[in-house]
Amino acid sequence: MPQIHELTALEQAGAIRRGELCSLDVVEHYLARIDAHSDTVGAFVTVTADSAREQATALDETPPGVRHRHHPGPLYGVPLAIKDLTLTAGVRTTFGSAAFADYVPTVDADVVRLLRAAGTISLGKTTAAELGCSLYSEGLVAPPARNPWDLDCTAGGSSGGAAAAVAAGLVPFAQGSDGGGSCRIPAAICGLVGYKPTRGLVSGGPLGGGGFGLPSHGPIARTVADAAALLDAMAVPVPGEPYLPPPAPPGGYLAAARRADPGRLRIGRFTTPMLADEPVHPDCVAAVDRATALLADAGHEVVEIPAPLRPDLWPLFETIWYVLALTPVPPERQAQLLPLTRLLRERGGAISAATLVATLAELQVQVRLAMHAVAGLDLLLCPTLSRPQAPVGWFTETGDPAQDFERQRRFSPYCAVFNVTGQPSVSVPVAQSAAGQPVGVLLTGQGGADATVLAAAAQLEERAGQAGRHPEIWRAGGSATVKASERVRAGGAARSEAADVR
């Protein structure tokens, strides 16, 4: 019999519906794995074991008819984790920083509330980059997030703990956020699916200034279908949001992913980096070549195109990134920030309002030109990163935060462009490096075409055959198997629930 974590999130939910598992069975299995492996991979900052057990028990005891009226959707009873940058009422939220090590919010982010309403159960908060400022997650409030495929390497950032947790089998999927690649970068490094939705599709409320529309909550998952199901739970319209969400597709995003048939598409591929004049590792180019062949074999037209933006536009992006680092921090705690964060905030504080407005205007001009140039294409295909991996400590090893920031730019010269354009973008694992580590590619669609992106990603995933690969730690520890639960079966509840679902 398979172990619980070997099932996808949707398979776990199905087992709960059929009475083969209770939510508490699944929660206990993952809590045992977290206890055994979280510090090894740097996955969790805070584990909420007691509240997870309480919530699972309450869901298990809810009559079948009631549970589906109050928690519609396919994820009832399935655990996940929330990124430590995301507000969670009553649960410590450090924003990856020692400056907020004891901060406990009084409100939930909208996305947390929506995920709870979908019947998912949070097991805690995952390790994140300090204030979301870096593409690695190596702070002072938790062990560094490490790649479960190679513990000497980073799990990425800023959603590094989320990706480490999913890849190591500590949760079936996780909530992340992506302001410059922060879901897609860790996903590519850890062999997962990382999705950044169209701007406005997922609420960023109730607090925050919107980050010029760059950040978005998104899912990190083992499969495209799991990611799409989590997106359906997140993508519920909330009044007052500054960006109009696109209409949902018929049947939701999960239906689009399950079809895995976007129709015949015209896809523009490129490998030239957009934000740095940086040589691209042969393994990353080979992954794009493999994705090209697989998509062409599926019937799509794949054409070579120039990169939509040029590296000489980096100063515009750089200015925005400096300003985004100006998250309010109490003056007495600013000395507790990491050197990189302090540098970015110093540079951001020196930027005048006039310079910022002019920068945003010029960046929008360049984005418009780029979008006109690719208007005849349904999807863009490019590497997720310029190299497959980076060692833990590599970005900071020189001791110079300016060099740290420069290394990050060269490591990830693709993802952030699509935060500026607001397009839906997904990293899909399609290949392995010469060292056997995962390598992902980016598929990016037109604004609002999330269903097309997910269907194409599912099609590529199916043909690439990487979803069933797992690191060695996946097989370590944990012995629970899928079994009929006496707690669910008592009183015929499982049979009643199955009848209710039908």
Which amino acids are annotated catalytic? 83, 158, 182
Q: Write the CB contacts of 250 (distance below 8 Å, at least 6 apart in sequence).
A: none
CB 443 within 8 A of CB 451: no
Query: How many CB atoms within 10 Å of residue 399?
Result: 8
C-alpha 502/C-alpha 496 separation (Å) is 10
Q: Write the CB contacts of 296 (distance below 8 Å, at least 6 apart in sequence).
A: 302
Supply 343's token pair: 């540098």
Distances (CA, A) of 488 to 77, 186, 482: 12, 37, 13
Which ranges in 436-477 belong to alpha helices (H)? 450-464
Q: Write the CB contacts of 198 (distance below 8 Å, at least 6 apart in sequence).
A: 245, 246, 422, 423, 424, 447, 448, 449, 450
Q: Which of 191, 155, 187 has its CA nearest to residue 395?
A: 155
Distances (CA, A) of 428 to 14, 67, 288, 460: 24, 33, 11, 8
Q: Are strands 216-221 and 193-196 parallel, antiparallel or unpaired?
A: antiparallel
Q: What is 2-29 written as a DSSP string? A: -BGGGS-HHHHHHHHHHTS--HHHHHHH
C-alpha 450/C-alpha 456 separation (Å) is 10
C-alpha 82/C-alpha 356 separation (Å) is 32
Q: What is 256-322 written as a DSSP string? A: HHHHT---S-EEEE--S-SSS--PPPHHHHHHHHHHHHHHHHTT-EEEE---SS-GGGHHHHHHHHH
Q: Write the CB contacts of 239 (distance below 8 Å, at least 6 apart in sequence).
A: none
C-alpha 38/C-alpha 63 separation (Å) is 34
- The residue behind tokens 């406005």 is 200
Phi first, then psi, for residue 48 (nearest 5°) are -105, 65
Q: Write the CB contacts of 439 (distance below 8 Å, at least 6 apart in sequence).
A: 188, 283, 284, 286, 287, 388, 429, 430, 431, 432, 433
